[in-house]
Amino acid sequence: MSALAPADEAEIAQAIGEARARATPLLLAGRATKDGILRPVQAETTLSLKNHAGVTLYAPNELILSARAGTPLAEIEALVAGAGQQIIAEPPDLAALLGETEGAQTLGGVVACNLSGPRRITAGAMRDHVMGLRAVNGAGEIIRAGGRVLKNVTGLDLCKLLTGSFGTLAAITEITLKVLPAAETTATLVLPGLDAQRGVAALAQALGAPFGVSAAAWLPRAQAARVGELAGFAASVALVRIEDFRPSVLYRGERLRALLSEFGAAEILDEAPSRAVWRAVRDAAPLGPVGGHDAVWRVSVRPSAGPGIVAVAEGLGGRCFLDWGGGLAWITAEASAETHRAITEAARAAGGVWWLMRAPAALRASLDVVPAEPAPLAAIARRVKAAFDPAFILNPGRIHVGL
Amino acid sequence: MIDLPDPKPTTLAARERIIAGLRALLPEGGVIAEALRLKPYETDGLSAYRQVPLAVALPETTEQVASVLRFCHENGVRVVPRGAGTSLSGGALPLADAVVIGLMRMNRILAIDYADRLAVVQPGVTNIGITEAVRGAGFFYAPDPSSQLACMIGGNVNMNSGGAHCLKYGVTANNLLGLKIVTIEGEVIEIGGAHLDAAGYDWLGLLTGSEGQLAIVTEVTVRILRSPEGARAMLAAFRSNEIAGACVDAIITSGIIPVALEFMDRPAIHACEAFAHAGYPLDAEAMLIIEVEGSIAEQDDLLARIKEICARFDPISLKISQSAEESAAIWKGRKGAFGAVGRISPDYLCMDGTIPTGRLPDVLRRIGEMSDSYGLKVANIFHAGDGNLHPLIMFDANDPESFHRAEAFGADILKLCVEVGGCLTGEHGVGVEKRDLMTAQFTAVELDQQRRIKTAFDPDWLLNTAKVFPLTAALAPAMPRAA
Amino acid sequence: MQTHFTPEQLRDPETAVANQILRTCVHCGFCTATCPTFVLLGDELDSPRGRIYLIKDMLESGRPASEAVVRHVDRCLSCLACMTTCPSGVHYMHLVDHARAHIEETYRRPWHDRALRALLARVLPHPQLFRAALVAARLARPFRFLLAGKSVLAKRLAAMLAMAPARLPAPSPIERPRAHPAAGPRRQRVALLAGCAQQVLDPEINAATIRLLTRLGVEVVVAKGAGCCGALTHHMGKHDDAMAAARANIAAWSREIEAGGLDAVIINASGCGTTVKDYGFMFRNEPEPWRTRAARISEIALDISEFLTRIGYRPTREPPGLTVAYHAACSLQHGQKITGEPKALLRAAGFTVVEPAEGHLCCGSAGTYNLMQPDIAARLRTRKLANIAATGADLIAAGNIGCLTQLAGDTLPVAHTVALLDWMAGGPEPAAVAKAAPRRDAKAS
């Protein structure tokens, strides 16, 4: 294994160009905190972008921030917080879940994996806020997409295609994000004692109300017990978050409490506990520690199908909770082809998708870590891959075998 | 007139056979082929460019779309998709050897699901039609282009349409869950569905805004949102563009994101007022329409904060709407702005660039200078929160020389947008109009990268040829290098 | 939009107006979505923008109308929803009227088409003939099965038979020329357009109008010599017939203006109102005194709902507990831009007023459209009735006889707005109310 960690874009382009010339596969990484997600890559050489770091533009009045891919996310979060702003999609730090170093992840990694937190349900995913990027394709060519403006439909939207492509199309070198003002304050309604079905019904009611709910999750009793601020309820909890100016948060909290009264008496957590709770949900902390023989899945379905996924996960002896109004299930269970089949079949039956987020490498290499695509689309995917990476050297096999 | 590729002689020679073949695939009345009846299909919302197509096909189902595409693919016939024909960039401009596939007959709403907050619609449903269908339950579909009354969701997907409220709610791409598409080979593929996020490549994101280059959309799953308790607009009028621009900055940095933040310059104010009678201040150089949402108390709170900020910029007037009717009138002026300019000028070109918001005063000053040197009037409308600028260049289409000046003026404005860090189009798409300007924004390498993606979907370049990409190379697409 | 008329063509004043209208259009396409035929047929050619394009091509080329132009212009309802939508102020009505006249001059229709148009143009504007025709149609109804064919002719004849009411109201003497004095002190003096087809189909509308107005202190004159407003023939492109009808009205009302003064010309069939309000334009090139007289008539022409709003209306009965679906006639909402007044009056009268979805879409009546284009008219009718049914109303109110006839029959009872207003102000109960009451009572229990 050799490792390259160039500090500028031209060197990255050169490294990729050379790898292409020699047809040598490359494992693209930032600080390598997410290598455990999806399939393992067979590559002799690691190309790390961790040294290509730094914020290159921040214009709070234009809601725009640009940073190189290797910039630690925490650094960016601190910078924008200083101007009263935030990264909209609230990306998680899954280091604990994945057994990696917390606080190390880079902006490039979060974008390449399109990881979003609880606010995704109402404010969009990372992919929705990548306004521009620079990247080096598999031919070693530097390409730009999008721009440094908030609205742009000039040509094909490569920002969206590259976001979440797990480095299989190009090495993203610099990213321009839309940022937004952080809310003045936040609060969370807690409805204890609802089963998954009733809990998701309550979340649907809240999300369908005109009160600007910004996140909605449901945790079974055992998972709630793992979050300090929720342990006292000693019950499953449906969580509804409001973020806004103080008068709005107070007003909407009361309106929601009244609206949801058929689901029982809601307790309202104020700012500090609310932040702690959603940070835990964001990072999938309620799943608890994941052992070496366990796997972790992320399943996205229509919200009303969430409880069905919970039932399947619990039937497998796994642990599970729901974010995104019921539409995102975090599951941990025994790492085996059987559990994988059961979970993915449930996801497919519900019309949804899955990501195998953690599992022993051998297992990851032998499974559909995301759903297989129908044949005509898989053929297009192969041609698109070739359009970026003609020698198939960038993160080969990271998402699908042979891609 | 714009350059269009030479028609394929083989296609023109086979015209009768192609029309007969299409007729066999579609119900009676589904194919238009007589010269006189093809004429109204020769153009869209950009009527300066015209070309009568070979034929028009009006399918009613996904299967019919698939059979027409399969037939066209087998016969090497170019295809131009069309919805309501409201594109301002000539996105639906036909070619002499192309079959226009009109999706206007696919105008049904297939499903509405309030629990999961989505609707499944056919491409010919109008943008406002979705909102109208869910309004009774208190929901709406968020992107609201000015043409929302007429423009169809299929076109919105292909152009990734925005609107005045996308500062808060995002553009089309941010409000979609799934698509049903038909490839040029006639394969029907479902993308996404009722869930969030793609596992694998974000095809939904790539297809949105792809201007008919990759596939034809026959079904769309959109997110629907609960309407806020209420919304109210205010007007703030200022003595100069610079002052109004500074006020926009101050509002945004204060932490308030209004649901809409629209800027109009003096000519735009006058044109719209003549149409809407909304009480726009005719003595102002620049005007902002600022809208907030929430309960009455929340609106009052936000409007008071905004009013206090505006007051620091020596406004000529600040007027908070007192009723839903007043707010509607304020928006009627803005939404009818393009047509309203049609009242003061026989023709106009509506440009659509984006700029970093901080550069607005500078850009408007330079547009003013160009207006003088070209001798053409221009009215500017600007989505101030997100940097999307719409200069409306007025000209007289019966005077060819005036049209050529307007075209050149428009190109200069867009180059200026790119020069200050912006881009060629914010929400109208490249279409045919800005095709040849793409080189101002992208390098040859970047354009080739995009072209190769098109080739991956449409190897023979039959779909909406001669749009988006500069003409010469579009007809000799760079093929993917050895894979 | 760019046009290609020669200077010679533009010397013709009619062409010059058409050019002006075409130049106003920026081809934005906003009109397409609100056009009923585009919504149903999904073809640019059946949208206002498509028709404008076809008309432009026809006029520019100076050629006779082609079959294609005729087909698509004929499908236009003249509902004018496009004019409400158009942000550029394109006067589609004048353009399509001009196109229809051009078609009438230059295109030879199939024999049955010509015969039918001639028949309608001859019969409908004349109450005695129309009445006789309806009696004949009633007698023919049992033989409808003979018209089971799919030909246009068969469908049109079937539509005509369907239109004939099963029970024809007795002729009413109320339309005879005379002045109906105000009850109490006279506040205003108006002329009422007694109309043509309406007085045969439902004489109660004029009767209710006169009762209500005289009760409010208005002297109502039915002027000698006034008759059909000319709209029926105007929309068929029969320019001379339309002008003759309009001229007769202008003459009759001008005499009344000279004799005793008129505060308004009242129209209670909004299709007619749109035309009377356009007399000024129709006579713009006529010699004086007609030009001035026509303009004067158009100035004082008012829909009954506008006039009632102006002089004030108050009910005398207790609210009836009825929910009325207000159907906005195109000629009112689009042609005359009257939207709020009828609803406000009905509410003031004590009715609960609901509005169906797609209120901007035509019901398919559109003058003689339901006879000439029975398929499209029937589809629009079904769609309209479904939208109205979804409101849960007890009855339908509208301000135009065409819509009332079109929507009557198999679902909710229909009434003219003025009949309901008259009832609540002391007039007799309209027949529709008796039919609606069981619905209301069923809902209440």
How far, in Å, CA of A169 to CA of B206, rounded? 13
Query: What are the structure tokens assigned to B228, written together?
Result: 């806020």
Band of residue B482 on the pLDDT scale cut at 50, 70, 90:
very low
What are the boundaries of each domain within chain C?
7-106, 111-163, 173-308, 313-444
pLDDT at site C164: 73
Q: Write out chain A residues lying below 8 Å of B454, CB-based.
A: 156
By C-alpha distance, the chain C residue nearest B342 is C88
**What average pLDDT does range B396-407 have in this prediction?**
91
Residues A173 and A222 in one domain: no
pLDDT at site B481: 44
Contacting B residues, span 386-405, partner chain C, CB-CB under 8 Å: 397-398
Instruction: Please give the single-letter amino acid code of residue A42.
Output: Q
pLDDT tens readout for residues C26-66: 899 999 999 999 999 999 999 999 999 999 999 999 999 99
**Given an 8 Å threshold on Cβ–Cβ distance, is B102 in contact with C42?**
yes
Flag whether pLDDT at C111 surpasses 50: yes
CATH number of B109-226: 3.30.465.10
**What average pLDDT does range C63-79 have in this prediction?**
94
CATH of the domain at A332: 3.30.70.2030
pLDDT tens readout for residues B288-321: 999 999 999 999 999 999 999 999 999 999 999 9
Flag whether pLDDT at B452 surpasses 70: yes
CATH of the domain at A204: 3.30.70.3450
The CATH architecture of the domain made up of B231-337 is 2-Layer Sandwich (3.30)
Closest Cβ–Cβ partner in A159, A353, A383 for B456? A383
Number of domains in chain A: 3
How far, in Å, CA of A31 to CA of A16, rounded? 18
Residues A171 and A191 in one domain: no
pLDDT at site C132: 84
**What average pLDDT does range B48-77 have in this prediction?**
97
The CATH architecture of the domain made up of C313-444 is 3-Layer(aba) Sandwich (3.40)
**What average pLDDT does range B262-283 have in this prediction?**
89
- Chains linked to A by 3 or more Cβ pairs within 8 Å: B
Closest Cβ–Cβ partner in C3, C33, C49 for B398? C3
Lowest mean pLDDT among A141-145, B79-83, B394-398: B394-398
Contacting B residues, span 206-235, partner chain A, CB-CB under 8 Å: 206, 208-210, 213-214, 226-229
For residue A382, tell me if it sits in a domain: no
pLDDT at site C151: 74
β B109-113/B118-121 pair status: antiparallel
Flag whether pLDDT at C145 surpasses 90: no
Band of residue A103 on the pLDDT scale cut at 50, 70, 90:
confident
First to last CA, chain A: 22
B468 touches chain A (CB under 8 A): yes
Counting CB pairs under 8 A, whether chains A and C reach 3 or more, is no
Boundary residue ending a domain (A155, A181, A207):
A181
For residue A392, tell me if it sits in a domain: no
pLDDT tens readout for residues B157-202: 999 999 888 888 999 999 999 999 999 999 999 999 999 999 999 9
Instruction: Please give the single-letter amino acid code of residue A176.
Output: T
Please report, rounded to a whole number, the percentage of residues in chain B having pLDDT higher than 90.
Answer: 82
Residues A173 and A62 in one domain: yes
Contacting A residues, span 48-67, partner chain B, CB-CB under 8 Å: 59-64
pLDDT tens readout for residues B65-77: 999 999 999 999 9
- Residues B407 and B349 sit within 8 Å (Cβ to Cβ): yes
Instruction: Choose between C159 and A304: higher pLDDT.
Output: A304
Flag whether pLDDT at B1 surpasses 90: no
**Given an 8 Å threshold on Cβ–Cβ distance, is B107 in contact with C42?**
yes
Contacting B residues, span 280-319, partner chain A, CB-CB under 8 Å: 294-295, 297-298, 301-302
Domain B9-102: which CATH number of 3.30.420.40, 1.20.1280.50, 3.30.43.10, 3.90.226.10: 3.30.43.10
Residues A315 and A262 in one domain: no
pLDDT at site B483: 35
DSSP run (H or E) holding A355: strand A353-358
pLDDT tens readout for residues A221-230: 999 999 999 9
Angle, CA B193 vertex, CA B188 and CA B198 arms, to 5°:
100
What are the boundaries of each domain within chain B?
9-102, 109-226, 231-337, 345-419, 435-471
CATH number of B345-419: 3.30.70.2740
For residue A311, tell me if it sits in a domain: yes
The yes/no answer on whether domain C7-106 falls in CATH 1.10.1060.10 is: yes
pLDDT tens readout for residues A3-48: 999 999 999 999 999 999 999 999 999 999 999 999 999 998 999 9
Lowest mean pLDDT among A53-62, A189-198, C83-92: C83-92
Residues A207 and A308 in one domain: no
By C-alpha distance, the chain B residue nearest C87 is B339
Boundary residue ending a domain (A181, A200, A220):
A181
pLDDT at site B480: 43
Angle, CA A117 vertex, CA A113 and CA A120 arms, to 5°:
95
pLDDT at site C244: 95
Flag whether pLDDT at B103 surpasses 50: yes
> Please, which residues have CB within 8 angstroms of residue A155's CB and are 6 or more apart in sequence?
B430, B438, B441, B442, B447, B450, B468, B469
How far, in Å, CA of B287 to CA of B381, rounded? 10
**What average pLDDT does range C370-377 have in this prediction?**
92
pLDDT at site B441: 95
How far, in Å, CA of A230 to CA of A215, rounded? 16
Flag whether pLDDT at B478 surpasses 80: no
Structure ipTM = 0.98
How far, in Å, CA of B76 to CA of A235, rounded? 64
Range of the domain at A268: 185-282
Lowest mean pLDDT among B240-249, B287-296, C85-94, C156-165: C156-165
Query: What are the structure tokens assigned to A96, written together?
Result: 């604990």
How far, in Å, CA of B160 to CA of B425, rounded? 11
By C-alpha distance, the chain B residue nearest C58 is B36
pLDDT tens readout for residues A216-250: 999 999 999 999 999 999 999 999 999 999 999 99
For residue A393, tell me if it sits in a domain: no
Flag whether pLDDT at B9 surpasses 70: yes
Q: Judge if B231-337 and B345-419 fold alike in CATH terms.
A: yes
Instruction: Return the residue in B135, B148, B149 with the most chain C beta carbons within 10 A, the one to mutate for interface testing.
Output: B149
Instruction: Return the residue in A38, A128, A156 with the most chain B beta carbons within 10 A, the one to mutate for interface testing.
Output: A156
C317 touches chain B (CB under 8 A): no
**Given an 8 Å threshold on Cβ–Cβ distance, is C23 in contact with B275?**
no
**What average pLDDT does range A55-67 have in this prediction?**
96
Flag whether pLDDT at A156 surpasses 90: yes
CATH of the domain at A100: 3.30.465.10
> Of B414, B265, B392, B280, nearest to C88 (Cα)?
B392
Flag whether pLDDT at B475 surpasses 70: no
Band of residue C147 on the pLDDT scale cut at 50, 70, 90:
low
Boundary residue ending a domain (A251, A282, A313):
A282
Counting CB pairs under 8 A, whether chains C and B reach 3 or more, is yes
C45 touches chain B (CB under 8 A): yes
Flag whether pLDDT at A154 surpasses 70: yes
pLDDT tens readout for residues C283-328: 999 999 999 999 999 999 999 999 999 999 999 999 999 999 999 9
Q: Write out chain C residues lying below 8 Å of B348, CB-based.
A: 26
